[in-house]
Structure 1
């Protein structure tokens, strides 16, 4: 277990990034109206989130659900302290993103730790992707934007099985060398377990002490919150989640959503961990998403409600 460096009585604090507007919306079978997206993102901002993944600069014919990304970025009305993140798949996507660089602060570049998933997801080898990352990293630095990295299938690949930890950490080190100041490890299809997550983040934090490391878990097999707890106990203080438990992965079929932001935050608050977020407003935002989509979402906090005696965020 990672060493706890807090002083006695000091409250644990974590950062939570909301990824539903990108990771969640892109996996919906229908396209959500731009005005509804803007309304939902603004609601998330009112819940106190200071990190929101808003859009993706991918080809609109590949992910039509996100084809209105620029309109969404222009239309949202978020507090000044909110970091708006966009996902970029390659140099062409970066070209398009930089045309509107004043609309966001963070750029996320991504790769899959497994060759098969990377090929099926973006039709490139891992080596081709990382070569492009090195070029894009320099451009991001020149623009004065925050460079965040995402490594998908960090805890297992549905096509190749278990992914060696060293392969994932080597990719993380490559991202850090290319200028990434934050690296997210994605359990893309929900293959992680708490014991391995604890071991993984203990090793990752030891190897990359100068980089912010972020945990991104899916609830495909029901272990999402347990994995988040294991990451927290290993020393991780940065997490991603999706309101309403929206999301999944386009490949393969059957990969269900991320852990729900309101479930993650509710668990942290019950444990006395400070998130700075308003849980009731998060639930309201998830309820609004449920209304827009016209179907019941799977968030436990939506179904049962938050624990009423859980302490509020400080």
Structure 2
């Protein structure tokens, strides 16, 4: 079963002009009708760091969740953010960005990797106590531009640490578009075979022209959890390449269907969401 995770939070967070709260809620309400497994809808982080997401709690209050089977995921960067998110029973998943790169971990959460791992363990304990599931993103999972050490073996060490904490979902994140089909395949096969109790996902930033072989490599390696953002909005500001944005969900759906996989999305509602996205992200 393919799980599609739609990421309006990732698409919105880097935009300079503030998107009105009502518009955010209207867009996410439309996404809730499409049939995605999960909506990465907002984040509980410092409003100074990510001003676009300062209204996440208010957006949540405007969502109509009763007719939707989609689950909600909120990104957090520290224990305080996790505690804020845990107040809302509507949220199913908390997502934490853990980096394989020491430099990027400092830039992204103002923590060392050692401190971030300690934070992950504390948040995991909170999630277990409150009946939530922690999704850990391994950013720079396919390499980094900072000269920090990287290897598939290093990634496996991170996975082993997370497994010992009881983490059940890990998403490999290609923050700057460096993943190759061969690296995707090897990373998934090694970890999926060694840690069968963990669900591994893929959060790509990629040039659209080279996306299809990457998704197909992940599928062949057994990946069934994919993140995307309609029209490919968002991505990493450090990439300095406007083509290395989020995977466009419509491209992802097309590749999956071409390879014989059912996505379970409602095409009519999906079309409406794409129209609305063009207005939201004009």
Q: In structure 1, how many angstroms separate the alpha carbons of the residues matched to 2:37 and 2:22? A: 21
Assess if the C-alpha contact under 8 Å between 1:52 and 1:82 holds in 2: yes
SS in 2 for 1:41: helix
Q: How does 1:245-256 map to 2 (within 5 A)?
A: 245-254=232-241, 256=244
Gaps of 5+ in 1: 1-12, 295-314
- Aligned equivalent of 1:4: none
- Aligned equivalent of 1:215: 202
- Aligned equivalent of 1:308: none
- Aligned equivalent of 1:232: 219
Q: How far has the Cα of 1:34 moved from its partner?
A: 1.0
Q: In structure 2, how many angstroms separate the alpha carbons of the residues matched to 1:176 and 1:132? A: 15
Q: How far has the Cα of 1:216 moved from its partner?
A: 1.0
- Aligned equivalent of 2:81: 93
- The C-alpha deviation readout for 1:33-89, integer Å capped at 9, x for no partner, is 111111111111111113111111110011001111001111111334221011110
Q: TM-score, normalised by structure 1?
A: 0.84
Q: How does 1:1-314 map to 2 (within 5 A)?
A: 13-19=1-7, 21-78=8-65, 79-98=67-86, 100-160=87-147, 163-220=150-207, 222-254=209-241, 256-294=244-282
Q: How far has the Cα of 1:106 moved from its partner?
A: 0.9
Q: In structure 1, how many angstroms separate the alpha carbons of the residues matched to 2:104 and 2:76? A: 17
Q: In structure 2, how many angstroms separate the alpha carbons of the residues matched to 1:40 and 1:126? A: 35
Q: How far has the Cα of 1:280 moved from its partner?
A: 4.4
Q: In structure 2, how many angstroms separate the alpha carbons of the residues matched to 1:151 and 1:211? A: 14
Assess if the C-alpha contact under 8 Å between 2:230 and 2:274 holds in 1: yes
Q: How far has the Cα of 1:30 moved from its partner?
A: 1.6
- The C-alpha deviation readout for 1:89-138, integer Å capped at 9, x for no partner, is 0112112222x221311111221111111111111111110011111111
Assess if the C-alpha contact under 8 Å between 1:193 and 1:223 holds in 2: no
SS in 1 for 2:163: helix
Q: In structure 2, how many angstroms separate the alpha carbons of the residues matched to 1:226 and 1:287? A: 28
Assess if the C-alpha contact under 8 Å between 1:17 and 1:53 holds in 2: yes
SS in 2 for 1:197: helix
Assess if the C-alpha contact under 8 Å between 1:53 and 1:86 holds in 2: yes
Gaps of 5+ in 2: none
Aligned length: 280
Q: TM-score, normalised by structure 2?
A: 0.94
The alignment yields a C-alpha RMSD, in angstroms, of: 1.7
